[in-house]
Amino acid sequence: MARNPKPSRVIIRIRMRSLLVAFPLALALIIGAISCQSTDKSAQPAVKAELPPTGVYWNKAPLSPTAYAPLPLGSIKPRGWLKRQLEIQANGLSGHVDEFWPDLKNSGWIGGTGESWERAPYFLDGLIPLAYTLGDQRLMDKAKKWVDWTIQHQRADGRIGAELGKAKYATVAQESDEWWPNMIMLKVLTQYQEATNDPRVIPLMDKYFDYQSNLLDKSPLKEWAAHRWADQVLTLVWYYNRTGNAKALELARKLHSQSYDWKAHFADFQYKQKVVGKKEINLHSHGVNNAMAIKTSAVWWQVSGDETDRKAIGQLQEQLDRYHGQANGIFSCDEHYAGLDPSQGTELCTVVEAMFSLEQSMAILGDAALGDRLEKITFNALPATFKKDMWAHQYDQQVNQVMCSPVQRAWTSNGPESNLFGLEPNFGCCTANMHQGWPKFASNLWMATRDGGLVAAAYAPSQVSAKVANGVDVAIVEDTDYPFRGTVRLTVYPASPAKFPLVLRVPAWAEGATITVQGQAQAGVKAGTFHTIDREWKSGDVAELTFPMGVKVNRWYRDGVAINRGPLVFSLAMGEEWKKVKGEDPHADWEVLPTTPWNYALALDPESADQSLAVEERPIGDSPFSPEGAPLRMKAKGRKVSDWTLVKGSAGPLPQSPVRTSALEEDLTLIPYGCTNLRVTVFPLAAPQPAPKAAKTGL
Ligand SMILES: [Zn+2]
């Protein structure tokens, strides 16, 4: 069902206009009603801010001052398609997996004897923002049971979590085994405290940090914790800003002294191809570790104040893009760095951790390009790797994914089930960690600025509530079908007129973007920057953003091409057959087999793609990230490449472009990557057919 909300006032006006013709005697009355609804803003109930019980905290000295500050969880509510997507998630695995999956049902984090390491904290790290972003009481009650157990079972010495030695998997035999899962649980508790103001959280941290500080010399960070330590620095900064207790900064320095040096890793990057062999398959080349590491130097800069830490993320992104970058915005890792071939995979944990890293880095650094990257991953890689009802997910997704089946593909080290859609294909980490993707994106759409305003870090339909200026409550309603459409309408509702800056990210691809305020065009709007509107806002004031979404072609592996429109990447729409492999509905495992050909080269001129690719807009339905619900379609031309065939269940080596093929030109349909289950995204480019007369030079 299409849900394209239109202002009810417009509908009333149209109906009443037709009445005018038929019933002239009603004229005066109707005009009165129209003018009242159209012009008298005071008659329109203002939208009121709905603030969570805690506020914004900025870095206290001596921490480096960040560009922006995250709003407390609960400040941002989803609307439109984003709300429906979060509801799909709540009705899918995220809202139910703890009811039947043994690794949660019998978790040591609620006193059970099952998995007692990272899986419950991972699950809660997504469940809590999902519950409080949606305002879903069932999920809040569920989350509280776990939080209560952790708080009530903190030991006298400050330890948290399961009993030592009781875990089934990754035995928590000694303290150094639990530093990593405890880092996640601390992150969980920060979110829970922001949304509830539960007074038990900070005292728990107080005791835990003492406990950890006393043990770190004897049981130092190792393995996972040594690579993922920045996740705890986030909590230590959070705690320090609320308490001013300097022991948090001492502990942060201690963690740093025992950690892996990611800045050095990317300054002299050694992994320039798909990794092979035991020497290269290690925790430094591990995909999820790298996704978490995206934020590490920026997070550490808050404590170190070292300018090289602040800038290190640029070099990191450059190296990952150059040697392992993929057209969906993420890098390959199946399970380790896997190179540029679009038939390699990317693990779901890597997708959601890269998103979280970018959200945190955006708050710290205030770099508009981080928002572009966040949107690219969120709108493409994230939805593509789930079944549309979010009851099943993949471990590895492929940019060119033409068959999902239990076949041993050319992964670096993953198993044959990795690209099935299932409950825990290959390994169960993603089953636990997948939940944070959408809700944390929603809760980071807006952030606070240092001068009492708000910044739109990323765009999606939402409502933000916050305090601006010197404590004025404001709600901003963001009406948009972005990323499927290019317009965003922001209606501002301060409790009383207030002067504050509204800072709007203008994506780098949005050349020619325009912003109006109350119909007045703003000067100086520039793609790839933030545009600030600093004015007195009154209730009902409107800012409208228009981002032109031209079709853009970019080059990838072996000079293949990917088609982009705004933040969306487009892929070949393929016929698919779903076959149950094992398990029970609704959380069964599925293979997805192609029913239509996929081995096409695109026939287009990359310099004038807008002319050769016709875009059709369709309604934004209940399930926008599905093949049948795709809100955009693109018509393209392609020609089959007969010797581009299946190899070990994947699209074989991508032919070097331009590729010569004598096959007839066919009409192809492209849909957004995030709507597909099977797809080709990086296409070879067909060489122009030999022209009867002189061909263009260069080919
Ligand atoms: Zn995983």
Q: What confidence category does residue 544 fall into, taking pLDDT thresholds of 50, 70 and 90?
A: very high
Name the average pLDDT for the chain: 92
Q: How far is ligand 1, taken at its centre, from the CA of residue 349, in Å?
A: 4
Task: For residues 352 and 126, give the distance between their C-alpha atoms in angstroms, rounded to a whole number.
Answer: 10
For 464, the enclosing helix (H) or strand (E) is strand 462-468
Q: Residue 176: its pLDDT value, please?
A: 77
- Does residue 10 surpass a pLDDT of 80? no
Q: How far is ligand 1, taken at its centre, from the CA of residue 116, in Å?
A: 16
Q: What confidence category does residue 689 fall into, taking pLDDT thresholds of 50, 70 and 90?
A: confident
- Which among 184, 592, 573, 575 has a CA at the least distance from the CA of 393? 592
Q: What is the mean pLDDT of residues 453-474?
A: 97
Q: How far is ligand 1, taken at its centre, from the CA of residue 197, in Å?
A: 31
Q: Residue 17: its pLDDT value, please?
A: 40
Q: Residue 612: its pLDDT value, please?
A: 85
Q: Residue 693: its pLDDT value, please?
A: 55
As given in the structure block, the two tokens for residue 672 are 């957004």
Q: Residue 164: its pLDDT value, please?
A: 67
Q: How far is ligand 1, taken at its centre, from the CA of residue 204, in Å?
A: 29
Q: In the Cβ-directed half-sphere of 1, how many Cα atoms lie within 13 Å? A: 4
- Does residue 73 surpass a pLDDT of 90? yes
Concatenate the DSSP letters of all residues of 417-463 into one string: TTTSBBSSSS-THHHHHGGGHHHHHHHTSEEEETTS-EEE-S--SEE
As given in the structure block, the two tokens for residue 107 are 């978790």
Q: How far is ligand 1, taken at its centre, from the CA of residue 350, in Å?
A: 7
Q: How far is ligand 1, taken at its centre, from the CA of residue 265, in Å?
A: 22
Task: For residues 396 and 348, give the distance between their C-alpha atoms in angstroms, rounded to a whole number.
Answer: 6
Q: Are 544 and 488 in contact (CB under 8 A)?
A: yes
Q: What is the mean pLDDT of residues 107-128?
A: 94
Task: For residues 107 and 113, give the distance between their C-alpha atoms in angstroms, rounded to a whole number.
Answer: 6
Q: Residue 686: its pLDDT value, please?
A: 97
Q: How far is ligand 1, taken at its centre, from the CA of residue 387, in Å?
A: 16
Q: What is the 3-state secondary structure (H, E, C) of 164-210?
A: CCCCCCCCCCCHHHHHHHHHHHHHHHHHHHHHHCCCCHHHHHHHHHH
- How does pLDDT run across 281-324, given as a tens digit for each residue? 999 999 999 999 999 999 999 999 999 999 999 999 999 999 99
Q: Residue 692: its pLDDT value, please?
A: 57
Q: How far is ligand 1, taken at its centre, from the CA of residue 127, in Å?
A: 16
Q: Residue 44: its pLDDT value, please?
A: 46
Q: Residue 166: its pLDDT value, please?
A: 54
- How does pLDDT run across 20-60, given as a tens digit for each residue? 334 443 443 444 343 333 344 444 448 999 999 999 999 99
Q: How far is ligand 1, taken at its centre, from the CA of residue 322, in Å?
A: 24
- Does residue 440 surpass a pLDDT of 50? yes
Q: Are 339 and 387 in contact (CB under 8 A)?
A: no
Using a pLDDT cut of 70, give the percent of the chain over it: 91
Q: What is the mean pLDDT of residues 82-107?
A: 97
Q: In the Cβ-directed half-sphere of 229, how many Cα atoms lie within 13 Å? A: 22
- Model pTM? 0.92
Which has more confidence, 441 or 692?
441
Q: Residue 278: its pLDDT value, please?
A: 85
Which residues have a Cβ under 8 Å from the Cβ of 240 and sit 6 or more positions away?
60, 63, 246, 248, 249
Q: Are 418 and 650 in contact (CB under 8 A)?
A: no
- Which among 384, 367, 408 has a CA at the least distance from the CA of 327? 384
Residue 536's CB is within 10 A of a number of other CB atoms, namely 11
Q: How far is ligand 1, taken at its centre, from the CA of residue 427, in Å?
A: 7
Q: How far is ligand 1, taken at its centre, from the CA of residue 142, in Å?
A: 23
Least confident window among 158-162, 235-239, 473-477: 158-162
Q: How far is ligand 1, taken at its centre, from the CA of residue 289, in Å?
A: 11
Q: What is the 3-state secondary structure (H, E, C) of 99-155?
A: HCCHHHHCCHHHCCCCCCCCHHHHHHHHHHHHHHHHCCHHHHHHHHHHHHHHHHCCC
Q: How far is ligand 1, taken at its centre, from the CA of residue 412, in Å?
A: 15
- Does residue 1 surpass a pLDDT of 50? no
Angle at alpha carbon of residue 311, lines to 307 and 314, rounded to 5°:
170
Task: For residues 244 and 648, give the distance between their C-alpha atoms in angstroms, rounded to a whole number.
Answer: 57
Q: What is the mean pLDDT of residues 553-560?
A: 97
Task: For residues 256 and 651, give the distance between their C-alpha atoms in angstroms, rounded to a whole number.
Answer: 43
Q: How far is ligand 1, taken at its centre, from the CA of residue 264, in Å?
A: 25
Q: How far is ligand 1, taken at its centre, from the CA of residue 211, in Å?
A: 29
Q: How far is ligand 1, taken at its centre, from the CA of residue 296, in Å?
A: 19
Count how many residues are written for the chain: 699
- How does pLDDT run across 364-392, given as a tens digit for each residue? 999 999 999 999 999 999 999 999 999 99
Q: How far is ligand 1, taken at its centre, from the CA of residue 496, in Å?
A: 47
676 phi-psi bin (left φ>0, alpha ψ -120 to 50, beta other): beta
- Which among 229, 305, 262 has a CA at the least distance from the CA of 65? 305
Task: For residues 191 and 474, give the distance between their C-alpha atoms in angstroms, rounded to a whole number.
Answer: 22
Q: How far is ligand 1, taken at its centre, from the CA of residue 460, in Å?
A: 26
Q: Residue 21: its pLDDT value, please?
A: 38
Q: How far is ligand 1, taken at its centre, from the CA of residue 94, in Å?
A: 15
Least confident window among 226-235, 241-250, 259-268, 605-614: 605-614
Q: How far is ligand 1, taken at its centre, from the CA of residue 434, in Å?
A: 8
Which residues have a Cβ under 8 Å from the Cβ of 198 and sit 6 or more positions away?
147, 192
Q: Residue 28: its pLDDT value, please?
A: 38
Q: How far is ligand 1, taken at its centre, from the CA of residue 92, in Å?
A: 18
For the chain, how far is it from start to end, CA to CA, in angstroms? 47
Q: Residue 172: its pLDDT value, please?
A: 58
As given in the structure block, the two tokens for residue 641 are 């490449």
Longest dimension (CA), the chain: 90
Q: How far is ligand 1, taken at its centre, from the CA of residue 356, in Å?
A: 14
Q: Residue 611: its pLDDT value, please?
A: 84
- Does residue 617 surpass a pLDDT of 90? yes
Q: Are 98 and 105 in contact (CB under 8 A)?
A: yes
Q: How far is ligand 1, taken at its centre, from the CA of residue 395, in Å?
A: 6
Q: How far is ligand 1, taken at its centre, from the CA of residue 375, in Å?
A: 21
Q: Residue 277: its pLDDT value, please?
A: 87
Q: Residue 220: its pLDDT value, please?
A: 95
As given in the structure block, the two tokens for residue 334 are 């199946």
Task: For residues 232 and 153, give the distance between their C-alpha atoms in angstroms, rounded to a whole number.
Answer: 21
- Does residue 508 surpass a pLDDT of 90? yes
- Does residue 204 surpass a pLDDT of 70? yes
For 610, the enclosing helix (H) or strand (E) is helix 609-612
Which residues have a Cβ under 8 Å from the Cβ of 548 and sit 6 or more positions away?
486, 510, 511, 512, 513
- Does residue 14 surpass a pLDDT of 50? no
Q: Residue 165: its pLDDT value, please?
A: 63
Residue carrying the six token digits 């859609």:
421
